[in-house]
Amino acid sequence: MADDRSALVQTVRSQAADRLAWERAETHLVDVALRQRLTSLGVEPTTDVGVALMATAMLLAEGSPEFGGDFRDALAEVAHVGLALLAAADEGDCDC
């Protein structure tokens, strides 16, 4: 299980590294909004939530080529927000 989790994180991390500055900035705004939404719903933005977001995005992207690039871009954003939750936990910037 740990190997699967590490492989997922590495896949999303490599995808995130290829993004343009404006795309990373946009993802940051979504990240902040999602954290606020989760908090207002009583859900802690933990590393497990981050992994769940990445797993969901990757699963949907694998089986949904008919929706085209826009759909996959939105899913990538979900995955990158999940990655941001993990990074915040690693840096101690979150109570995860």
pLDDT single digits (tens) 1-44: 779 999 999 999 998 898 999 999 999 999 999 999 999 999 99
**Cα–Cα distance measured from residue 96 to residue 66, given in angstroms and rounded to the nearest whole number:** 36
**Cα–Cα distance measured from residue 96 to residue 81, given in angstroms and rounded to the nearest whole number:** 14
Mean pLDDT, all residues of the chain: 84
What pLDDT is stored for residue 23 in this prediction?
Answer: 92
